[in-house]
Amino acid sequence: MPQPTELPAVIVLPVQETKLHTGNGGSLKKICLALGSCVLFFLFLEGLCSSLSASYKLFSPRNHGTLSGPVMRYDAQLGWVTVPNFYQKNYFAPGIGLRTNSMGLRAQQEFAIQPPPGKLRIICSGDSFTFGEGVGDDRTWCQRLESLDSRFQTVNMGESGYGVDQMYLWYQRQGVVLNHSVHIVAFIIEDFRRMQLSNYVGYGKPVLGLRNGELITENVPVPRQSRALPWFQQKRVQLQEFRSVKLLGSLVGLARPIQDPFNYGPSDQQARVIDKMLEQLQAIEKQKGSDLLLVCLPTTVHQHEQSGPAPAWRAWIRTESAKRGIPFVDLIDDFHKLPVTRQDSMFIWPDSVHYFAEAPGHYNDEGNEWVAKELYARLLSAPKIAKKPLQKQKTSEVKSTDLGLHRQ
C-alpha cells in the first residue's frame, strides 16, 4: 500500500502569505500615520497663522476702535465728541484723512453764526454714516450735497456711535447757534436701539427720559468707564477674527431668545420720548424759520429683512412724522429698487485697507454720492430752497420730488 505523500509546501505557503500580509499592513499604517501627521501639522500651521493674523489686527496700533481713535474724547454730557481742530492725513487709510474745525465738526472750514451771503445752510445730524466713517472729508454725503448745488453750505454734525438722543443733544449744543435753512436728521434703525442704552461699546452715554411731560437727560454727568471693559468691547470686531471666539458667539446667539422686543417698534415709554423730542425739534426749527427733514438711511441688506426691526420702526416713524407734518424720506425703499450688485458696490467691505475695524459696512465714495443725489432730489421742494433762484446749476439729472416740506 503506497505511503501518504508529504505536503510541506502546503504547510509553508500560509506562513509566507501571512508574512507578506503583515508587511503590507505595516506599510499602510506608516502611510496613514504620515498623512495624519501632515494633516495635523497643516491644521496647527493654519491655526497659528490665523491666530497671528488675528493678533496683529487686535493689537495693531493703527487698528483703532472707532470710539477709541485719537479724534474722540470723553464728554460729560454726551459721552463722547470729536476733538476740535484735529487733522490727520491718513486717519482712515492711506490717503484718507480727517479734519475737524474749532467747533469739533468734521469740516475744512469754520462756520459763522450767519451763512455766507447768497448761501442756504443745511445742517446734517446723524451717526457714523453721516460723519463719513472710512471716507475723506469731501466724500461724505453731507459734503457731496453741497457740491451738487452752488446755493448750499452744508454743516456735518454727524458723530460716530451716536443714538438719536445724542444727535438731538449735540444739535442743541452746537447746531442751534448756527442759522440755517434746513435741518436733516439722518439715522439708521439701530440708532433707536442706542437710545435705550446707558452704555455703548464700553462708553457711558446720556439717556433721555420724561418727567411731568418734559424731556430730561439722565445718566449725566456720564460716568467714565473702566479701561479693561471698554478695551474688550472696542475690540469686538477684531476678536471675531479668532475662530473660537466666533464659534462661541454663535453658540451664545443660539441660546438667546429668538424674539427681540426691539423688532416690534418702540415701547410706549420710548414712543413718548421720541414724540416729545420731535416736538422740541419742530419748535426749534419754527423759531429759526428752518425746515426739518427726517431721513432713514439704508445699511447692509440683511438689516432690512422682514424678520428684523426695520419694518416695524419704519412704519412707526412714517406714521408719527405724518401726524406731525414732518417730511420723512425713507431711502431704504429706493435702495431696494437697485440691483444687488449696485447695492453691494455702495459699501466698504472687510477686505479693504482701513485702519478701523468698524469702517466696513459704511458707505464708500459711491454710497455717499448716491445718498447725496437722492436727498438733493427731495430738497428741491423745500420752501427755503425752492424760493431761492438756482445759480448756474445743472439739474437735468435730478428730478424734484414734492415732499410737502414746510415749516410747522
pLDDT, tens digit, for every residue of 190-246? 999 999 999 998 899 999 999 999 999 999 999 987 554 555 555 555 555 555 655
Write down the pLDDT at residue 98: 96
Highest mean pLDDT among 9-13, 19-23, 257-261: 257-261
pTM to 2 decimal places:
0.79
- Closest Cα to residue 210, out of 283, 163, 274? 274
Encoded amino acid at 140, one letter: T
pLDDT at residue number 149: 95
Per-residue burial over 289-326, b if 16 or more Cβ lie within 10 Å, else e, is: ebbbbbbbbbbeeeebeeeebbbbbbebbeebbeebeb
| Of 4-8, 276-280, 324-328, the least confident | 4-8
Report the C-alpha dihedral over residues 90, 81, 177, 297, rounded to 10 degrees: 70
**69 part of a folded domain:** no
Residue 198 falls within a domain, yes or no? Answer: yes
Provide the H-helix boundaries in 93-171: 128-131, 141-147, 164-170
What does the pLDDT look like over 62-90, one tens digit per residue? 555 557 688 999 999 999 999 999 999 99
- Half-sphere exposure (CA, 13 Å, Cβ side) for 91? 23
pLDDT of residue 302: 59
Tell me how crowded residue 103 is: count the other CB atoms within 10 A of its CB: 18
Pairing outcome for strands 87-93 and 72-75: unpaired
Indicate whether 101 pLDDT > 80: yes
Q: How confident is the model at residue 30 (pLDDT cuts 50, 70, 90)?
A: confident
Check pLDDT > 60 for residue 20: no
Total of domains in the chain: 1
In a domain, 283, yes or no: yes
Is residue 146 a part of any domain in this protein? yes
Question: Can the peptide bond before residue 70 be classed as cis, meaning omega within 30 degrees of 0?
Answer: no
- Which residue range forms the structural domain that includes residue 93? 77-224+256-386
Cell for 402?
414734492
Q: Is residue 312 part of a domain?
A: yes
Looking at residue 353, its pLDDT comes to 74
Here the CATH number for the domain that contains residue 315 is 3.40.50.1110
pLDDT 10s digits, 288-338: 999 999 999 999 865 566 667 899 999 999 999 999 999 999 999 999 999
| Residue matched to cell numbers 442759522 | 179
In a domain, 303, yes or no: yes
Helices 268-288, 310-324: axis angle to 10 degrees equals 40
Whether the predicted pLDDT of 407 surpasses 50: no
For the chain, give the mean pLDDT.
Answer: 82
Query: Among 301, 384, 293, which residue's Cα sits nearest to residue 341?
Result: 301
Q: Is residue 8 part of a domain?
A: no
Question: Is the pLDDT reported for residue 111 higher than 60?
Answer: yes
The answer as to whether 45 is a domain residue is no
When pLDDT is averaged across residues 11-39 and rounded to a whole number, the result is: 64
